[in-house]
Structure 1
Amino acid sequence: MREKIIEKAAELFINLGFKSVTMDDIAQEMGISKKTIYTHFKNKTALVKEAVMHMYHLITHGIDCIRALEQNPIEELYAIKKFAMTRLKDEKSSPQYQLQKYYPEIYSLLKEKQFEKMHECTVANLERGIAQGLYRENLDVEFVSRIYFIGVNGIKDDTLFPIDQFPKAQLFEAYLEYHLRGIVTKEGLKTLKKFINQQSN
């Protein structure tokens, strides 16, 4: 039952926001009493933390599966972007913004974990790209990986990128192209253009 509550809460938080969803809403959605939820979680904050970690592990597992395919590095980044966009249905709301505002400690923990994971993935991607001649060999890998992380997080800020002006899917698409154009070789650019053409068709 504990796992089912976490899964349902995670789904509701992503779709409706961390602030909007109450314990009553979760209980009603599941057809159980609120008391049942409180036997597993002492308060809403504890449930939010578990739901956030559940979502984080789902996404990182998916990314690990994509990385295990060992596609060329540019293809890998497009596959990860596509996967992340299907997982985070944040077209209408920005769950990360609400998490930061109402649950700052959980947000800080998540951001730390996200950085560790994304840094590891990006460094590996950059090193493979350089080795395969798709990325420029004079790249400062540590600098680029950190700038990429800042960018990916920065474009999630709805105050900087209002959703009505910058739909999430297009925004991530544009940022990935921006990132890759800055690091690819002439050979890498050929591969990148194939993906840009695929997206526009």
Structure 2
Amino acid sequence: MAEHQALEGQFSTITYFGSCKPKFEPVKEDQQLEIMTFLEASRQILPFLETLGKAFVFVKKDVQGNIEKIEKHRAKDPEKYKTINIIVEEDQSAEKKEMSDGCVGVLWLKRGLDFIHNIFAELLADLKNEVTDENISPTIGRAYENSIKKYHGWMTQKVIGGVIKMVPYRKDFLERLMLEPSATPELVLKDIELYDVNLAATVKLMDDLLTKNNKNSEEKV
């Protein structure tokens, strides 16, 4: 937990990701991902998706739906389902071939979070490369290309491609993540960079877990 506390000490309190709580925690040594703390952190992504414009409402609903799938699975036996690991490992050992709704939720929530992580990475790359173009559609497009596009069929790709073209301009988008007039675009991006450390590590943990248990399906939807 020391790493998480150290990162917290560097966050501002005047940007969305600087102030939002709870944030994703560092990956534990035992590689266990506690469901409740993970889902609480995942919910903080929902308001962020709203900053990308009304067109991203359906993306928000998809992320929220996968959170709810995991919650419903946990509700079957809260004492048993304390970690994401148990849901995935139990699904692998089950005789049935179809994935449980809980495991489907884990798979697609991981993919949604990976998309978010890639959006952050591309925004930070723009900053590093001194990209000032107000149109961030190419930035979001690269994030989509590098994450979940390969899991989508032609029709879904076309729909999301259209949605990406409707994202707000860079200045407006960053301003939506500022909580006070004293906040700056640079501060927003600094907090995003700090926030993404544990998000990226969590996505990798989930990806490794799903792969290990043969649940990282490549099927398109």
Report the TM-score, using the length of structure 2 for normalisation.
0.27
Report the TM-score, using the length of structure 1 for normalisation.
0.29
The structure carrying a bigger helix percent of its residues is 1
- Which structure is larger by alpha-carbon Rg, 1 or 2? 1
